[in-house]
Amino acid sequence: MNPKSYFVSLSPAARVSLIVGVLAIVALTAGMLWWLMAPRQQLLFGKLREADTAEIVQSLNEWKIPHQIIDGGTGITVAADSVYETRMRLLSAGVPRGGHVGFELFDDADFGVTEFAQRVNYQRALQGEIERTVASLPGVQTARVHLTIRRPGMFVGDRESSKASVAVAMNPGETLARPQVQGIRSLVASAVEGLAVADVSVLDSNGTLLAGGADGGRGAIALDERSDEEARLEDRIRLRVVELLGQVLNNEEFKVSVDASLNFDAVREVSERPIAQGDDGNGLLARKRVNSSQAPDAAGRSQSQEESEYVHGMSREEISRAPGRVERLSVAVILPQHLDEQEVARIHSLISAAAGIDTNRGDRLEVSRLPSGKVRATPPAVAALTTPQPADRVSPATQHGNLIANRSLQLQPWMPWALAGAVGLLLGAIFAFAAQRKPRKLSAEEREAVLAKLRGWLSEGQMPVEHRIVASKTP
C-alpha cells in the first residue's frame, strides 16, 4: 500500500497518534545516541568542604580540564578516562590543602620581612602542619591548633611555658578514645619546643574539654578512665565465664552479668618496729660507764655507780599501693532450668575460680536457674565484644574521608544498544497498533447509496461474493 494513501485513509486521531509515535521514537533514539556518545563522568573528589571545592575548581580551570560540580558543591566529576591522571596531578600540587597552610609559606620568602613577621609566619606554618597531621588521623574530620609560644626573657623568672589548644571535629558516629587524646597531646608537645604535655588542651566539636586545663588533664578524664578500666575488667571476666559455660553447657542458653568496682586511691603505708638484739634481747651494748667513790660513807663503805647504754635496730617497711585495685566483684549467672543441684554446684565452683571471687573481699556470686523461655541466649561469640575493634578507616592521604570514590556504572558495551532497541521496538509496536485503521461508520446518505447499489445487484443477480458477505453483515 502507498504510505501516502495509507496516511490519508487514517482517521484524524490515528494520524495524530502516528505522528506522535514517530517523533517519540526519533527523540528516544537521538537521546540514546547522545548518552552513548557523551563522555562518561566519574567522581574526582567527594565530601569536600566549600574551601576545598573552590581550590580544586580553580586548579581545574587553570589547566582547562572540563568538570562538573555535584552534590551541592561537595563533589567534583571529570571525564572517566582522565580521572586518575587529574587526581594525581592535583595531589602532586598539594590540592586540596584542607584549609591548612604549612611551611610552604616560606617557599617565596621575602628577605625584607621583619623578625616579628617571621615569627608570626613560623607560628602559622607550625600550626598548619600540626593541623594536617591531626586531621589525617582516622575518624578526624577537621582540626584546629592554636599555639602560644613563649620567648625567653632577659631574666630567668621571666620565662613562661608555652601552651597549645587543639579543637578536633570527628566524622559522624566517631569519637576520640582516651589513648588517642593522649597521643594528640604528645604529638603537639613534641612538635613545639618548650611545650609540656600537661600544657596541651584538647576539645571536641561541642567544646567539651577532653584533656588539659588547670588540672593538667587528669580531672577532666578521671571519670572516663575509671569507667573504661572497670568496663575492661568486666569484659575480661565475662569472657572467661562465657567461654567456660559454653564448653560446659554445649552452647545452651545462659546469661552472665559482671559488675566490678575498682579502688583508684593511691595508698602509701610506712611502718617501723625495733629489732630485738643481744643475748637477753635488750639490745646491743653501745656504751658502759662506771663511777666509783673512794670516800667512805657513815658506815665506812665506798660507793660505785654503773651506767649502760644499749641500742636497738629499727625495721622500716614502706608499701605503695597503685590505684586500680579490685575492691569488689559481683557476678550473676542464669542457667537452664533442667540442670540438677549437683551440676549447679559444680558450675558455681568453676565460675568462682574463673572469675576470681574472694569472699573475704566482699565479692558475691549468684547462680540461678530459670525456664528456658525466659533466658536470652548468650553465645560464646560475645567474646568479640570484649575488645572493641576499630572500624575500617579511609587512607589518611585523602585527608577528608571518602574523598576518592567511583560512581560510574559499569555496563557491558552491548547493553545500552540492546536497551535502546528494545525500547524502540516496544514503542513502535504500541503506536502501530494504535494507528491501525478502524472501521468508519457510514453516514445516512452513504448508507442509502450502498443499499441502492446492493438492490441493483440483487435484482440483476450479479453481486460479487465479497459484497454478499458485506451485505449479509449490514443491519
- pLDDT tens, position by position, 97-139: 666 677 766 766 667 778 888 888 888 888 888 888 888 888 8
Q: What is the pLDDT, as a whole number, of residue 320? A: 81
pLDDT (mean) for 246-257? 84
pLDDT confidence bin for 159, thresholds 50/70/90: low
CATH fold for the domain made of 106-151+161-214: GMP Synthetase; Chain A, domain 3 (3.30.300)
Select the more confidently predicted residue: 295 or 251.
251
Q: What is the pLDDT, as a whole number, of residue 5? A: 72
pLDDT (mean) for 406-432? 59
Please provide the DSSP assignment of 154-213 as one string.
Answer: SSGGG----EEEEEEEEPTT----HHHHHHHHHHHHHHSTT--GGGEEEE-TT--EEE-T
CATH fold for the domain made of 42-101: Alpha-Beta Plaits (3.30.70)
Which residues sit opposite 318 in a β-bridge?
A: 270
Is there a contact between 364 and 348 (Cβ–Cβ < 8 Å)? no
Residue type, 16: V
- What is the number of alpha carbons within 13 Å of residue 420 lying toward its C-beta? 17
Helix H or strand E segment including 361: none
Q: What is the pLDDT, as a whole number, of residue 156? A: 52
Cα distance between residue 130 and residue 397, in whole Å: 15
Structure-block grid coordinates of residue 29: 533514539
Asked if omega into 96 is within 30° of 0 (cis), the reply is: yes
Select the more confidently predicted residue: 232 or 227.
232
Comparing CA positions, the residue from 304, 274, 273, 308 lying closest to residue 289 is: 308
Is there a contact between 400 and 52 (Cβ–Cβ < 8 Å)? yes
Q: What is the pLDDT, as a whole number, of residue 350? A: 92
- Say if residue 380's pLDDT is above 50: no
CA distances from 400 to 72, 74, 185, 269 (A): 17, 11, 21, 53
Helix H or strand E segment including 113: none
The residue count for the chain: 475
**Eight-class DSSP state of 206:** T
pLDDT confidence bin for 276, thresholds 50/70/90: low
Q: Is the pTM of this model over 0.75?
A: no
Cα distance between residue 182 and residue 195, in whole Å: 14
Whole-number percent of the chain with pLDDT over 70? 68
Q: What is the pLDDT, as a whole number, of residue 353? A: 92
pLDDT confidence bin for 300, thresholds 50/70/90: low
Q: What is the pLDDT, as a whole number, of residue 348? A: 92
**Eight-class DSSP state of 443:** P
Cα distance between residue 144 and residue 206, in whole Å: 14
Comparing CA positions, the residue from 422, 376, 367, 401 lying closest to residue 135 is: 401
Q: What is the pLDDT, as a whole number, of residue 462? A: 55
- Say if residue 470's pLDDT is above 70: no
CATH number of 228-265+323-369: 3.30.300.20
Which stretches of 332-443 are DSSP H helices?
341-355, 414-434
Mean pLDDT of the chain: 75
pLDDT confidence bin for 414, thresholds 50/70/90: low
